[in-house]
Structure 1
Amino acid sequence: MTSTNIDIARTYFQAVQTGDMATLGELLDESIVWHQPGANQFSGVHKGRDAVFQMLGSMMETSRGTFAIDRIHTFMANGDLVAATIHFSGRRDDASMSMDGVDLLRVTGGKITEMWLFSDAPAAEDAFWG
């Protein structure tokens, strides 16, 4: 089961990196609970695939299409949880961010049902997103 969950996480990150919304729609459970960190316009708990897609679309709009997970370092699994250490970045106007993070996915029945995100520079991420 663990390797299957890692495979699902790998497919998720590939879809994010390539903008494959159809695959993302297949992988994210319709009632996903997404925990976005920080104290910015996107922070908080987002419930449901539509709410998550709306948030991600707004992030791309705010970052002028530059927000990206540019590296995935490691995948680790423990039962239905998969942790991925990543690097992400974005630019807009005169602002930029570039930092490491951890994404923690709960995979149930082949779908991502819950997601927690962590960044190594929360204040910088908050300043970027506003």
Structure 2
Amino acid sequence: MAEHPDCTLVRRGYEAFTRGDLDALAGLMTTDVTHHVPGESSISGHHKGREACVQLYRRLGELSGGTLRTELETLLADGRGHVISVHRCRAERDDIGIDMKIGMFFTIVGGKISDIDECSEDIDTSNTFWR
């Protein structure tokens, strides 16, 4: 069975993120994309616009000292412009580490990612890690 094109788009985003190719990742997003991060940490909130999202991803790398790793586990499409992903997130920061599942709900418009709603397996642990 062939992968749905929306899943392929999101997979390409994960691959670009893993390579650290933020220019390629930005090219997969609309200019007005928004990434919603839950919780009450330094990375939480609504990151509006392609540049704000890229800045968020840079900050994740900086805060984790380059240790952040994502391992894509699942992609699910509804065929109407939505994809759900589940990945394992691992990173270290100072004296603590994080290892948890993260879910993302992507909205796809015109072949580009226009909205990302992030869900965390453990928001309190995420808040502690990202402070």
Q: Scaled by the length of structure 1, what TM-score is found?
A: 0.94
Q: Post-superposition, which runs of at least 4 consecutive aligned residues in structure 1 deviate over 6 A?
A: none
How big is each residue's C-alpha offset from its partner over 1:76-122, in whole Å with a ceiling of 9 and x where there is no partner? 01111100111001101101100011111111111100001111011
Opposite residue 57 of structure 2, the aligned amino acid is L
Q: Residue 105 of structure 2 aligns with which residue?
A: 104
Distance 1:73 1:43 in 2: 23
Unaligned residue ranges in structure 1 (runs of 5+): none
Matched, 1:27 2:28: yes
Indicate the RMSD between aligned Cα atoms, in angstroms: 1.2
Compute the displacement of 1:29 (Å): 1.1
> Does structure 1 residue 66 correspond to structure 2 residue 67?
yes
Q: Give structure 2 stretches of 5+ with no counterpart.
A: none
Shift of residue 46, structure 1, vs aligned partner: 0.9
Deviations 1:7-64 (A, max 9, x none): 1011111111111222112101111011011110111111001111112111211110
- Local SS of the residue matching 1:7: helix
**Structure 1: how far apart are the matches of 2:40 and 2:16?**
27
- Count of residues paired in the alignment: 128
Match of 1:87 in 2: 88
When the two structures are superposed, what TM-score results if normalisation uses the length of structure 2? 0.93
Partner Cα separation in structure 2 for residue 111 and residue 34 of structure 1: 13
* Residue 85 of structure 2 corresponds to residue 76 of structure 1: no
**Aligned match of 1:10:** 11
| SS, match of residue 42 in structure 1 | coil
Identical amino acids, percent of aligned pairs: 27
CA distance in 2, matches of 1:33, 1:82: 15
Q: 1:4 & 1:43 partners in 2: Cα distance?
A: 29
